[in-house]
Structure 1
Amino acid sequence: MTPLVIAQVTDCHLQNDPDRDYQGFDVERHLDRVIDDLLLQTPAADMVICSGDLVHHGGPEGYQRLSQRLAHLPVPSYWIPGNHDDAQLMLQAGHQHGSQLNQRTVVAKGWAIILLDSTSDPDGQGGGSLSRSQLTFLEQQLQQYSTHHCLVVLHHNPLPVDSDWQDRIMLANADQFWAALAPHQNVRAVINGHVHQPWELVRGDVRVIMTPATSVQFKAGCQQLILEDDPVLSLPAYRWLTLHGDGQIETSVKRVAG
């Protein structure tokens, strides 16, 4: 069986006004560069997963622009909200452009990809949690697809990243999340956005893979938010994941120059 290839796009932070920047960067153009790069890849990914903070406290226009861009790709796309998103507006935009965007479990090539909403109980600072219904959904899906390899997708990081300000706004009920995963030996990895940095960590037998943003990158290991100033690490980025039939995952970050 050929592997399943996923492109993960995250933390676009699109503004209501496409000409308005975010943290001093033209995030609209950054997203264009990433989408253009995806279009150039041969072979193409099998799907694109957008893992939250797609719009920065904006109205429906940002989701419309993003969904139109994703429609140009030759493969299906799926999205989940982050703490800066409006989940209801996302659902509405997704239905307008085909309910596939809002799909929460994707099954392909021996893998079950479970997409979660971690924006419950926001703390006003950027943190979020998985609601009881999301945890129940996760447990049900893991049981239903017990013969598949499983990849779990959420926005908030379920492990700390040794950055004081970011660790305060990670997944608030990470213990409950890990308890839900514990009985299921078929969970191969968790992927998330939120941190605007690349990380590859491990908890038990589960890999935790975090992806830099299309918008701006944050410097790692800081007490407070500092933008990445390294000329390479600060480029817009996305992640490739190659999911093999034996449960192994190959992954790399693709940074996109102007």
Structure 2
Amino acid sequence: MIPLVVAQITDFHLQNNPDQDYRGFNVEQHLDRVVDDLLLQTPAVDMIICSGDLVHHGGPEGYQRLSRRLARLPVPSYWIPGNHDDAQLMLKSGDQQGGQLNQRSVVAQGWAIILLDSTASPDGQGGGSLSSTELAFLEQQLQQYSTHHCLVVLHHNPLPVGSNWQDQIMLANADQFWAVLGQHHSVRAVINGHVHQASDQLRGEVRVIMTPATSVQFKAGCQQMVLEDDPVLRQPAYRLLTLHRDGQIETSIKRVEG
């Protein structure tokens, strides 16, 4: 059986002005190099998931530039908002592409990929929550696809990463999230962005997989925000996930020169 290959790209932080850097880096160039690398990926991926912070408090121009970049890839793309996104503006921009970018779930080859919005109840510092409506949607989807292997996607990390400043702005109602997942045995993994670093943890039998950013990386295990200075780990990155029919997941991080 041919597995499903998914590319997760996250935390682009595109500025409203494409000539403006983010934390000293040309994030437009970083995203271009990630897209270029995806075009060369062999075997080709089946879909792209963009897991939030697509723009950095920007206007529609950032989403429009992103849409044009995604159009270069000959596979479908789907996106969810992060704390730096304007969720309503993002929805409008996605609907202008036929609504595909805002699709809430994707079912293929024995897998159900459930896309969540974790930007409710913002704390003004970067944290976010799943609204009661979103938790109900998650429950409904897990019931509907109980015979599938499920992959849940959100922006905010539902587990700590061991950096004090980041753990303060993780998913605020993670306990409620895990309570929903705990009622279902079909969830194989949760993937998220937000932390700008790699992590692969287990909570019970569920893998929690976190992915570095295309924009900039944050050094792990810090009390305050520190940019990654390792010459390899600081490169723009994305994640490949190979989803097998038996529920197994193979994953790797691809880093590109930025």
**TM-score range for the pair, normalised by the shorter chain length:** over 0.9
Q: Where in structure 1 do 4 or more consecutive aligned residues deviate above 6 Å?
A: none
The residue that corresponds to 1:10 in the other structure is 10
Which residue is 1:127 aligned to?
127
Q: Deviations over 1:47-92 (max 9, x none)?
A: 0000000000000000000011001101000000000000011111
**1-structure distance, mates of 2:66, 2:255:** 19
Which runs of no fewer than 5 residues in structure 2 stay unpaired? none
Quick one: which amino acid aligns to residue 200 of structure 1? Answer: D
Cα distance in 1 for partners of 2:9, 2:214 equals 7
The share of aligned pairs that are identical, in percent, is 81
Residues 119-157 of structure 1, C-alpha deviation per residue, up to 9 Å, x if partnerless? 000000000000000000000000000000000000000
Classify the secondary structure of the residue corresponding to 1:63: helix
Give the match for residue 93 of structure 2.
Answer: 93
TM-score, normalised with respect to structure 2: 0.99
> Pairwise mapping of residues 153-168 of structure 1 onto structure 2 (< 5 A)?
153-168=153-168
| Aligned equivalent of 2:28 | 28
> Across the two proteins, how many residue pairs are aligned to each other?
258
Q: What is the TM-score normalised by the length of structure 1?
A: 0.99
Deviation at 1:42, TM superposition (A): 1.9
Residue 43 of structure 2 corresponds to 43
**Structure 2 CA distance, aligned partners of 1:4 and 1:131?**
30
**2:227 counterpart residue number:** 227
In structure 2, the residue matched to 1:179 is 179
CA distance in 2 between counterparts of 1:230 and 1:215 reads 15
Name the residue aligned to 2:196. Answer: 196
Aligned-pair distance for 1:183?
Answer: 1.1
- Offset at residue 97 of structure 1 (A): 1.4
Mapped partners of 1:186, 1:97: distance in 2? 31
Output aligned runs, 1:229-248, within 5 Å: 229-248=229-248
Deviations 1:166-185 (CA, angstroms, capped at 9, x unpaired) = 00000000000000000110
Q: Which position in structure 1 is the counterpart of 2:169?
A: 169
- Alignment partners' CA distance in 2, 1:146 and 1:103: 19
What aligned pairs does 1:50-69 form with structure 2 within 5 A after superposition? 50-69=50-69
Amino acid at match of 2:230: D
Matched residues in 1 for 2:236 and 2:257: separation? Answer: 7
Q: Distance in 1 between matches of 2:98 and 2:56?
A: 23
What's 2:136 paired with? 136
**Residue of structure 1 in register with 2:75 after alignment:** 75
